[in-house]
Amino acid sequence: MAAVAARAGAARAGFRRMFSVSAFAPPPPPAARPAAEPCNNLFVSGLNKRTTTDGLREAFSKFGHVTEARVITDRISGYSRGFGFVKYATVEEAGEGIKGMDGKFLDGWVIFAEYAKERQAQQPPQSSGTQSSGYQYSR
């Protein structure tokens, strides 16, 4: 009787092991994005859909002379896409803008401000010459 119980216990352990070990590894943790170099242009994210360019300019003008402010909007609806850019006259004023507005509320939403990064030049997609419709097919 003890031998049967031991064999049943081993079978359960093997059964458990078979289904507890996954063949799939979890994805690696995301790499930390490198911080942008200090500049006078700020990237602002987390904007409310109703935030306007004038509202963004007004909020950031408390911390220095804003030369340009722009909320990026959706072409169809005209509402904010949730991010924008603020350009100050000097790098020092931009730093003050980050200190003053990062993690603060604007139009009821918490926003995040950081130095804007240079846009990487995007290369057009490579085509094989056989596709004329503009769609890419994976093979």
Which residues are CB-neighbours of 80 under 8 A, at least 6 positions away?
47, 48, 49, 50, 51, 52, 71, 72, 73, 74
Predicted pLDDT at 23: 62
pLDDT digits (tens, 9 = 90+) for 100-119: 999 999 999 999 999 998 87
pLDDT of residue 118: 81
Q: What is the pLDDT of residue 139?
A: 53
Instruction: Specify the pLDDT at position 36.
Output: 77
pLDDT in the model for residue 63: 95
Which residues of the chain fall below pLDDT 70? 1-24, 33, 121-139
Q: What is the pLDDT of residue 79?
A: 86
